Chains A and B, each alone.
Chain A
């Protein structure tokens, strides 16, 4: 079965600093990878997804992620964060041809401080 690991439960960062949120996946077959953001008291919103092709994926709000098959990673990055980026970030995986069932990681709380 596929799974994702988000090693950092919390990441504090100062405003305008760069940030990287780590995600590693485990699967013996090809997967699709996703990053979702959840703002307080809201549902989840898709930031970006990797299906195939270019390993560097650009998403909304200035975020990007790089798929690295050899390291089984899909880390999320932003060169300069804003206070409004404070939220919970979830990495998720689905097997190629795996239908509608996403498997989420445990989440990383990004806290942007002034």
Chain B
């Protein structure tokens, strides 16, 4: 299994809703990432978990709350979002989380969750 699976594929939520995005991989990867991608823009890193510990938080607002319950699963909890948070949310994983410059290290991306905040 060489896939990163993200659910749901599409999500529409109101500004007062609480929802969660889910990401799963069964490749034994030890680093997992959340990216945000606005239309016609490059992905922007939000969070990185390495060995189930949060290692990077790119000053993301607290209305986004990541969680890594185990090495295969990554969640992004959403609460009180704004319309400008509408975007494609991409999850990725990498084998060891030792730095993307390592020879055998690369990112594997899921297909994303398209989020619309009304």
Residues of A within 8 A of B (CB): 32, 34, 41-46, 49, 51, 90, 94, 96-102, 104-107
Contacts and interface: CB of A to CB of B under 8 A. Distances in A.
Nearest to B105: A100
Contacts, number: 64
A105 to B, nearest CB: 6
Contacts of B40: 107
A36 to B, nearest CB: 8
Interface of B: 4, 31, 33, 40-45, 48, 50, 55-56, 58, 90, 92, 94, 97, 99-101, 103, 106-107, 109-112
Given A43-B92, A104-B43, 18 more contacts: A32-B101, A34-B100, A42-B109, A43-B109, A44-B90, A44-B107, A46-B107, A49-B106, A98-B101, A99-B99, A99-B100, A100-B31, A100-B99, A101-B56, A104-B44, A105-B42, A106-B41, A107-B42
A107 B43 CA distance: 10
Specify which of B4, B58, B90 lies most central, judged by the most chain A CB atoms within 10 Å of its CB: B90
